[in-house]
Amino acid sequence: AFADATKRAKPDDKGWGRDNRPVMNVNWMDAIAFTEWLSGQTGVRYRLPTEAEWEYAARAGTTTVYSWGNDVGFGNANCPGCGSNWDGDRTAPSGSFPANAFGLHDMHGNVWEWVQDCWQPGYADAPGDGSARRTTTCSAHVLRGGSWLDNPSYLRVAYRNWLGSALKDVNIGFRVAVDE
**87 inside domain:** yes
Its domain, for residue 149, covers 23-121+131-180
Dihedral of the alpha carbons of 11, 43, 105, 133, in degrees to the nearest 10: 80
63 phi-psi bin (left φ>0, alpha ψ -120 to 50, beta other): alpha
The tally of domains found in the chain comes to: 1
Q: What is the pLDDT along the chain (180 residues), one digit of tens a residue?
A: 899 999 999 999 999 988 899 999 999 999 999 999 999 999 999 999 999 999 999 999 999 999 999 999 999 999 999 999 999 899 999 999 999 999 999 999 999 999 999 999 988 888 999 999 998 889 999 999 999 999 999 999 999 999 999 999 999 999 999 998
pTM of the model: 0.95
- How many Å apart are CA 146 and CA 166, to the nearest integer? 19
**146 inside domain:** yes
Cross-strand pairs, 143? 114, 161
Cross-strand pairs, 78? 109
**12 inside domain:** no
Tell me the per-residue pLDDT of 97-112, one tens digit each, with 9 for 90 and over.
Answer: 999 999 999 999 999 9
Identify the CA nearest to 72 among candidates 176, 154, 172: 154
CATH (domain of 75): 3.90.1580.10
Cross-strand pairs, 160? 144
**156 inside domain:** yes
**177 inside domain:** yes
